[in-house]
């Protein structure tokens, strides 16, 4: 139980290392992901008709005095567990520069020294996950620390 508590990551929690400061700001199941500012014209992304996605939004700050790759703030692997089974392992990342636009994160997308952005990690899951009352767990690596995020 102590190990699971240490690995738990909830909305509002913040972790950091020498380069990054990361705060989990949202964790939900949705059909679409939207930018923070939807007051004017904006872009958003949606899952296919037969699926939904887990949307994890992080406020990410580059604490260093040089540009870092956005894709480096999280590990490469995610695992979504539902009813004892792995239902998803791949994620799409989108960053929000607070201008109403969501941009895909590519391996070469950088975040400037001391800049802060919001990054959305989107994991496609089957519709039965969204329609269930059962908890869903996402395991991932953030700031070189393995964490578990529970949704529902």
Q: Tell which wins on pLDDT, 15 or 70.
A: 15
Model confidence over 25-46: pLDDT tens digits? 999 999 999 988 888 888 888 9
Residue 18, exposed/middle/buried by CB under 10 A (0-12, 13-18, 19+)? exposed
Q: Are 17 and 143 in contact (CB under 8 A)?
A: yes
Model confidence over 61-105: pLDDT tens digits? 999 999 998 877 776 678 899 998 998 887 888 988 776 788 888
Q: Give the three-state DSSP class for 128.
A: helix
Is the model's pLDDT at 52 over the cut of 50? yes
**Radius of gyration of the chain measured on its C-alpha atoms:** 15
Q: Give the three-state DSSP class for 7.
A: helix
Model confidence over 112-121: pLDDT tens digits? 999 998 999 9
Distance CA 111, CA 72 (A): 10
- pLDDT value of residue 1: 45
What's the pTM? 0.89
Is the model's pLDDT at 125 over the cut of 80? yes
Is the model's pLDDT at 2 over the cut of 60? no
Is the model's pLDDT at 50 over the cut of 90? no
Is the model's pLDDT at 4 over the cut of 60? no
């Amino acid at each position: 139980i102590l190990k699971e508590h240490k690995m738990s990551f909830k909305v509002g929690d913040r972790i950091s290392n020498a380069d990054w400061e990361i705060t989990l700001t949202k964790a939900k199941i949705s059909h679409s992901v939207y930018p923070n500012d939807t007051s004017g014209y904006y872009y958003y992304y949606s899952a296919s008709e037969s699926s939904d996605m887990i949307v994890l939004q992080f406020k990410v700050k580059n604490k260093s005095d040089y540009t870092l790759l956005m894709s480096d703030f999280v590990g490469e692997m995610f695992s979504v567990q539902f009813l004892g089974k792995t239902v998803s392992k791949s994620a799409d990342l989108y960053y929000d520069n607070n201008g109403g636009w969501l941009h895909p994160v590519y391996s070469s997308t950088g975040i400037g020294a001391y800049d802060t952005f919001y990054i959305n990690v989107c994991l496609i899951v089957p519709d039965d996950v969204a329609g269930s009352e059962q908890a869903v767990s996402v395991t991932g690596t953030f700031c070189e620390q393995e964490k578990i995020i529970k949704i529902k």
